[in-house]
Amino acid sequence: MRRHITGTSSVYSIPKQLKRVEAYFLNKQVNKNKAEVAFAISLKSKAVSRNWNNVQSNLAKTLRSILNNTDPHFRVIVAGHERPNIKEMRHKRVTWLPVNFLAPLNPKGFSKDKIRKRKVIGAYLRKKGFSGYFMPFDSDDWAHRRLVQYVRSQPSGKNFVINTGMMVNLVKKEVWLRKKRFYIGCGSSAVFYFANKDFPRTPKTKSAKKKPFNLVLKGHTKVIRNLRASRRPFKIVHFPLVTWVLGHGDNNSMLKGKKNNSVSAENYGSKGEKLENAFFHYFKSRKNRS
């Protein structure tokens, strides 16, 4: 059943919501902590993609949105079966980790495959001596240009759950705000703080299940419950710092039958707006755009 909003459209205005983020940094004194952000991308295999060129193109947009962040204290680690042939993979902040286990046979294996690759990334970070923020990020979503800056403006050691986010349907060229429970639908919606000892020693070890790293091996829909159960401090974020991108032809949620190209703002009790160039000033996923 579709829900409809009753308020004025200005409440949900995309430009208004995005300008709130800018105002936070313009009008408030913020102190950066020293921790770095590691974006962890588990890339689906060519064997289970509808169109490998689309998968590569989507990843390129995702990487551009991250690489164009205002705060350069981050790194991106991509784990997968086949290395994408895109120039963004050659960026100095991007690391490619090949995996040697079998790719899933069908969409039912997507989640397990993603988790296995996440363990590979975790073990790599442990070996590199990394301590800091770990953000699982889907290979088709877009990061706000101030995402890293926001995380590092907060007191060190906290975890973050993004409650408000943007949604885009590329088929409809529609964008809207998901005001609440964004983390329920979008896998790129939580940031975890880990000490180096919290990461697994190897991808195969079962010890990961006994460490705080276990939080990223569980479903994102229950992230708040899991953080509370682990007694890990966290902050609910009400800024739209991530865009969940749908309708590009290779969404896992669509391949699993959970979404289709007709999804729109109405399904989320929001008001859709036309996806225009101004949006990409904040989510810099396009080439040579301001």
Tell me the domain boundaries of the chain: 9-28+35-281
What single letter denotes the amino acid at residue 143? A
Work out the mean pLDDT of the chain and round it to a whole number. Answer: 89
Predicted structure pTM score: 0.91
Residue corresponding to tokens 């973050």: 160
Residues 45-104: pLDDT tens digits? Answer: 999 888 999 999 999 999 999 999 999 999 999 999 999 999 999 999 999 999 999 998
Residues 190-205: pLDDT tens digits? Answer: 999 999 999 999 998 6
pLDDT of 98 reads 98
Does residue 22 have a pLDDT over 60?
yes
pLDDT of 287 reads 85
Least-confidence region, from 29-33, 201-205, 221-225, 283-287:
29-33
- Number of alpha helices (DSSP H) and beta strands (DSSP E) in the chain: 7, 12
Q: What is the dihedral of CA 108, 110, 111, 114, to 10 degrees?
A: 160
Handedness of CA 132, 133, 137, 143 (dihedral sign): negative
CATH class of 9-28+35-281: alpha beta
- Rounded-to-integer distance, Cα 18 and Cα 14, Å: 6
Does residue 253 have a pLDDT over 90?
no
